């Protein structure tokens, strides 16, 4: 049920927040400083490429979000169960962070990296005329990458993606549980379903810490994924971090942070609102509150 709730939340989130993700990607790839900020980037895209360009890469983005949340929520639940103290039925804060990190690493390697490579390659293309674009769509993009760069081309930027997602999920699951407990006195498995606005507030707050901590990994990931085999600018995560810092300055490692903060906290708010209602329905129907195990 955790996996199902995550998949439904991912579908809703993708449709709402795709334009912000496109803007974030364009800003992170803008090492020549064509765009003057979030608003300028968005309006420039609309003026030159049309409104539909803000939803470029939606198919891989929605598919990847749905699969990612399914794997994330399901694997985190399995790992939390494995790390729960059998005597007390509770999991420690450290155990919750380890479970979140493990879920983030798993989703990064299995789902996130190949889908984001395709998404970013599609998003960096400017214009809408199919005949002028190198990649005609998600499937054509993936097959072209495999043909030109090999299968491993779909896993470009895997190292920073693993670091970003692992850290993000360790922080996010811990923070969500903390805010649920602190604000609403809610414990997992207690049979109590949060109101939608409560889930939204907890999810929104939990979504803030990760992007700030993982900004450099996200920028490096985007740069590594965007480069093709014929145009190698960065040789790996460490080389990319050093070169970006040297050529563009320290703050360039947090490029796209504002649109990430515009996308991830609202995205977590949407996802957790849906997920909590789905898991709450299951708990009400199949878990008796008196026998439920509270994971504090």
Query: Residue 128: what pLDDT?
Result: 60
Q: Which residues contact 207 (CB under 8 A, 6 or more apart)?
A: 172, 264, 265, 266, 267, 268, 269
pLDDT of 287 above 80: no
Whether residue 274 contacts residue 12, with contact meaning beta carbons closer than 8 Å, is answered with: yes
DSSP string computed for 96-152: HHHHHHHHHHHHIIIIIHHHHHHHHHHHT---S-GGG-S--SHHHHHHHHHHHH-GG
pTM of the model: 0.77
In angstroms, how far is CA 177 from the centroid of its own chain?
19
Residue whose token pair is 């990994």: 217
Residue whose token pair is 């800003």: 27
Residue 295 backbone dihedrals phi, psi, to 5 degrees = -100, 100
Average pLDDT over every residue of 62-66: 83
pLDDT of 228 above 50: yes
Average pLDDT over every residue of 73-99: 92
- Radius of gyration over alpha carbons of the chain, in Å? 20
Whether residue 100 contacts residue 165, with contact meaning beta carbons closer than 8 Å, is answered with: no
What mean pLDDT, rounded, does the chain reach? 88
CA distances from 74 to 57, 85, 91, 175, 265 (A): 25, 19, 17, 18, 21
Query: Residue 293: what pLDDT?
Result: 45
DSSP string computed for 232-252: ----SHHHHHHHHHHHH-GGG
Query: Residue 129: what pLDDT?
Result: 67
pLDDT in tens, 113-161: 998 899 889 888 876 666 678 888 889 999 999 999 999 999 999 999 9
């Amino acid at each position: 049920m955790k996996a199902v709730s995550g998949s439904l939340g991912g579908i809703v989130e993708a449709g709402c927040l795709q334009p912000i993700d496109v803007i974030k990607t364009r800003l992170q790839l803008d090492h020549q400083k064509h765009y003057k900020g979030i608003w300028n980037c968005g309006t420039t895209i609309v003026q030159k490429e049309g409104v539909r360009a803000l939803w470029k890469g939606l198919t891989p983005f929605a598919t990847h979000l749905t699969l990612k949340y399914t794997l994330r929520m399901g694997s985190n639940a399995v790992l939390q169960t494995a790390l729960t103290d059998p005597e007390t039925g509770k999991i420690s804060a450290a155990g919750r962070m380890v479970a979140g990190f493990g879920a983030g690493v798993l989703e990064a390697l299995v789902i996130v990296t190949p889908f984001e490579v395709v998404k970013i390659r599609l998003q960096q293309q400017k214009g809408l005329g199919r005949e002028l674009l190198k990649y005609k769509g998600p499937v054509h993009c993936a097959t072209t990458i495999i043909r030109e760069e090999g299968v491993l081309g779909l896993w470009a930027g895997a190292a920073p993606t693993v670091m970003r997602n692992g850290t993000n999920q360790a922080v996010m699951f811990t923070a969500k549980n903390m805010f649920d407990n602190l604000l609403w006195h809610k414990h997992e498995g207690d049979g109590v379903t949060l109101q939608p606005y409560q889930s939204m507030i907890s999810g929104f707050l939990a979504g803030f810490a990760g992007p700030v901590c993982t900004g450099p990994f996200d920028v490096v990931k985007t740069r590594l994924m965007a480069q093709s085999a014929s145009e190698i600018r960065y040789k790996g995560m460490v080389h990319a971090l050093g070169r970006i810092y040297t050529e563009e300055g320290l703050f360039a490692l947090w490029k796209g942070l504002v649109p990430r903060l515009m996308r991830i906290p609202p995205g977590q708010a949407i996802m957790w609102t849906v997920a909590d209602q789905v898991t709450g329905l299951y708990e009400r129907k199949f878990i008796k509150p008196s026998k439920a195990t509270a994971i504090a």
